[in-house]
Structure 1
């Protein structure tokens, strides 16, 4: 029997009053794996009201950092006990290969433990700026945090928001992507088994136009954190102006990967493949624009195309699969349309470009690793985020042109430079207008480092100490150590 999912409000699992249900499917075979509710506006408002009341009661917000940390560690321990099951669910719902899902689960567990440690060690500041006056700078929770996460990392993106928001002492409302709610539900089932007070954490399933919009508009939500497309991010930001709530946005990317003639060739090819085809290209920071210096361009393209054609695409549960399914039929069709546009624009389709409908993948949403060459900067496939296993390779002649091409984008999320000349690599990477960058690597990062971008790639930073700051207010407290009349008006 297909599981019917529920909403989690005030520590209870409840059915939505909306009888309409959404089919949650496995993108590898279109099997319906669950039925999800579409919460009503009234149910979202109820969850917000409970979150606000819980915050104001102090049952969580007034707990000391050690008490909050203990419960974050409980969540981490519960996740570790169920790690294999969670990874299987992530692969089943999202389509990514199992080893990617296992990595996401491990990183999620680490995030809860990281913020449990961080909140216990966050220090305030004390100034004695003038005689007799002591100024303390302290951090406080913001209130109610609305957390809206995407479908490409359903669990990890949720945890990147849930862990710091709870660590800071906020009450939260989590909205997973409509098409990938399974691991968020499992996370909250585990949270329900811990000592987190009822009403601190709510899980609301449904579409963005009702659930996301209501969260963003609500005057009782103090901070909204969204990860997703730039277009939706603009809508969230506009909706949030009612009470001027704090907004954190991690949005799209069209990230450059610059490879110089003097790069270690094998390393550059390997990371350039990993940079775009990891996660089937459904990663905001993917290196979807590979810029190659003219001296090695032809050699690079030949080797890159050969290696791309060897990538084994298949169902995520198949251990031999190196790239999994596209998350949905709609998104698959969007990617295929971009491939059609690229050919129409005159780019050379060097390999791939087709839906895979063979070897048991006839019902799944699979696309061949796709490489375009002979592209120009005015082409849509170069300018717009495709968010799939599609890469464009451009030629450049020198540092100046490489930097110009790299920054010729509305986005500024990620970027990389490959060179054995460390001075040149550092010189160039400092001029790349992106928030997450690498030298002689791609996609490697950790929970301690801030995550976010420039320009249309967003506002604010996730994870690290910066991620905790997103869910805290900064207050100054001035103490007069020698209180006596001021005599200002005498």
Structure 2
């Protein structure tokens, strides 16, 4: 086997110029862990180590937070005009766009995402920076006048060191989603990326240096969530934490951040329904729901992993969906024809396969069911479809986060709403119907932070992103991100002679002196 740079091996092409090791980035320098600890990073296709990464712990987080704190208190970044910060962030976007092919190559190799989808995520990362670079300049704040008496306005200030903890699915894009607004508003940051996928995160240091981000504004600590991530959450010098990940981890972060009264934004798990009514455009609904659950390898929080179909069209929909799912191309992540690549890590593959075995006892399997026959070994799972799934089934209730879908029939609108709301999650929902009144009524009743009507997941960066119930706490996106990453100080200015209530002018016995008859 030839493992030289750029060679094609049994695991597929190995990207050229892979690093010898992945290190932290603190105060403008690439550094090892204080204790020298490392961990293996696995190639998701063949599940073998291809590099070692520095394993951060509390001492490494302490060093990174100190760097970020110095940059915030003494450096120019928080004191720059928004226009000047905007120019730097536009240069970041330009650099990301110019390197999108390289970013996609590394992301695909590190995460198992199909190369075409990884390229789309790299371009979205650039757009995130461009969006917030523009928004921070165009931003307006509230001002209120009481004519002749008072002027009241809002003054925004960056908060300090932002702790950013990101997941392993589409890691580079999701890192940009947090980095862009945190930096645009003048904060400094410590980023803790997912330990499964540290490779693309390490590219941020060079991009920020070249764009002109001052030293210490961006800091990066790799490591396990229970070590580096927990230390970042608990650090008293980090006043706000933005986290994307599973709901159980979110509960731990909530508890560990509580003693410090930190600001928290948490986008957590999902088990999102796609509701298909009998009057829907079935061609569009089938295409959208197949894409919605199997794109990004099914490793997406907003996946429509529960499909609820009205009984009049249930059999037709199930037949068409299963046939199309069987035709989804599962293959090596580097192949442009691949639509579902390799799952990210052996631990995750085992979890998904366990749920498939559970599903065999809960529903009727009509597609997939395990690794595809043409790809022995590796971390591949064929798109798997269970139908006739009852609402109390585990594969209906629990987040699988893989290419597995549960399809369930319903009769009435009320039935559909009860099924849609009958899980602990509430992130996204998708509704397919040609009845406009029904669509809007359902959208206002479904327990979901985001709803798409007759559409797949198309994001508008101006709108809030977040969920309800176990799917999250708070919202980011657009001005909600600006709100989260800034203090909003109300300033009140008196105009002219303001009425002042008077205390303390009276004598000890009243408002006039009775002894003098006054």
Is TM more than 0.5 here?
Answer: yes
- Residues 219 and 242 of structure 1 are in contact (CA less than 8 Å); yes or no, is this contact kept in structure 2? no
Matched, 1:316 2:316: no
Q: Answer whether contact 2:332 2:338 (CA < 8 A) is retained.
A: yes
For residues 125 and 467 of structure 1, the distance between their equivalents in structure 2, rounded to whole angstroms, comes to: 16
2:441 maps to 1:427: yes
What is the aligned partner in structure 1 of residue 369 from structure 2?
353
* CA deviation after TM superposition for structure 1 residue 2, in Å: 5.8
- Aligned counterpart in structure 1 of residue 382 of structure 2, from 368, 371, 374: 368
CA contact (8 A) 2:101 2:119 kept: yes
Q: Is the 8 A contact 2:47 2:346 kept in 1?
A: no
SS of the residue aligned with 1:211? helix
Distance in 2 (CA, whole Å) between partners of 1:160 and 1:174 is 12
Q: How large is the RMSD of aligned CA atoms in angstroms? A: 1.6
Q: Counterpart in 2 of 1:384?
A: 398
Partner Cα separation in structure 1 for residue 400 and residue 111 of structure 2: 18
2:168 maps to 1:151: yes
Gaps of 5+ in 2: 1-17, 506-518
Q: Which residue of 2 aligns with 1:53?
A: 70
Matched, 1:71 2:88: yes
1:430-461, Cα deviation, whole Å (9 max, x unpaired): 21111111111121213222211111100111
Native 8 Å contact 1:3 1:33 kept in 2: no
* Residues 1:472 and 2:486 aligned together: yes
Corresponding pairs, count: 487
Instruction: Tell me what 2:47 maps to.
Output: 30
Contact 1:276 1:391 in 2 (8 A): yes
Judge which range, 272-281 or 47-56, deviates more: 47-56
* Alignment-derived partner of residue 258 in structure 2: 241
Distance 1:308 1:276 in 2: 10
SS in structure 1 of the partner of residue 344 of structure 2: coil
Matched, 1:456 2:470: yes
- Cα deviations by residue, 1:365-389 (Å, 9 ceiling, x for unpaired): 0001111112111111110000001
Offset of 1:128 from its aligned partner?
2.2
What secondary structure, in the 3-state scheme, does the structure 1 residue paired with 2:78 have?
coil
Encode CA deviations 1:47-106: one digit per residue, 9 max, x unaligned: 112212221225211111011101101111111221110011110001010111111111
Between Structure 1 and Structure 2, whose CA radius of gyration is higher? Answer: 2
Superposition deviation, residue 428 in structure 1: 1.4
CA contact (8 A) 1:16 1:43 kept: yes
Aligned to 1:123: 140
The structural deviation recorded for 1:30 is 2.8
The answer to whether the Cα contact below 8 Å between 2:461 and 2:477 also exists between their aligned partners in 1 is yes
Q: Matched residues in 2 for 1:149 and 1:18: separation?
A: 24
**Residue 125 of structure 1, CA deviation:** 2.1
Residues 184-218 of structure 1: CA deviation (Å, up to 9, x unaligned): 11122211222111111100000111111111111
Which of residues 100, 116, 122 is equivalent to 2:117?
100
Q: Is this contact kept in 1: 2:160–2:239, CA < 8 A? A: yes
Q: Which residue of 2 aligns with 1:222?
A: 239
Structure 1 length as normaliser, TM-score?
A: 0.96
TM-score (norm 2): 0.91
Partner of 2:352: 335
User: Is 1:395 the counterpart of 2:412 in the alignment?
Assistant: no
Counterpart-to-counterpart distance in 1, 2:448 and 2:420: 9
Give distance in 1, aligned partners of 2:183 and 2:128. 12
Unaligned runs of 5+ in 1: none
Change (3 A) 1:483 1:257: same
Give 2:423's match in structure 1, choosing from 402, 409, 417.
409
